[in-house]
Structure formats: structure tokens, C-alpha cells
Amino acid sequence: MAGSLTFPLVTEQLLLEVVRRILTIGSPHKILLFGSHAKGTARSDSDLDLLIIEESDMPRHQRSGRYRRVLCGVFPAKDIVVWTPQEVEEWKTVPNAFISTAVAEGKLLYER
């Protein structure tokens, strides 16, 4: 099919590199892979979904920029969200909330 996207395979080596790079600039409590790659349903055009749980005073929409920059070149399409432990605790039991699904179905890549 013309114009279709094909991204690299998400291997254990790639995930280790993702964690290594994140740890060079941040101090997360946890890093989780969520979405299709965590569930084993990824297609060749699936992005990489990452949840980083760390302490932060920044507004949620401003937290992921530094991680996008440090992961530049590792994988072409990334969705990176950064939540505080307190935010996760507040929302994790809310049915169908993004965070409850990501935490329940996510694959733990790193835990401090």
C-alpha cells in the first residue's frame, strides 16, 4: 500500500535504550510501556506509548518535552505522558480512565 508507515520492531534492546536515555535526564519512580506494544497487538505503524511516573511541579502538558528530545532518533512515533505518583493514585481506580487502563495493562520497564 503506497504511503503506509512501517516503524522498526520494538525489541527488548530498544526498550532498554529508551529507559537508559530517560534515566540520563530524569528520576522517574516508574516507566511503563502501554498501548498496543504492551498488549502485543502492535502493527507495523503503531507508535510507542510511554507512561513516566515522577515527581513534578510542572503542569502535566509541559512535562514530556524533555523526554521527547532525549528519545529523538530512538523510535519515530512516540506518545509520552508524565504523571506524578499523586495523580496516578487519585485516578487509578476510576473506571475507564486513561491512567487506570495504562497502569493495569502496561508493561513495567523500570521501577526505582
For residue 5, the model assigns a pLDDT of: 74
**Domains in the chain and their CATH numbers?**
12-111 (3.30.460.10)
* Higher pLDDT among residues 90 and 77, named by residue: 90
Full-model pTM = 0.90
For residue 2, the model assigns a pLDDT of: 52
Whether residue 3 is predicted with pLDDT greater than 70 in this model: the reply is: no
To 10 degrees, the CA torsion angle through 91, 14, 62, 59? 30
Give the pLDDT confidence of 15-26 residue by residue, as tens digits: 999 999 999 999
For residue 88, the model assigns a pLDDT of: 96
For residue 75, the model assigns a pLDDT of: 82
Give the pLDDT confidence of 19-71 residue by residue, as tens digits: 999 999 999 999 999 999 999 999 888 889 999 999 999 999 999 999 999 99
Give the Cα separation of 16 and 19 in Å (integer): 5
19 three-state secondary structure: helix
For residue 1, the model assigns a pLDDT of: 46
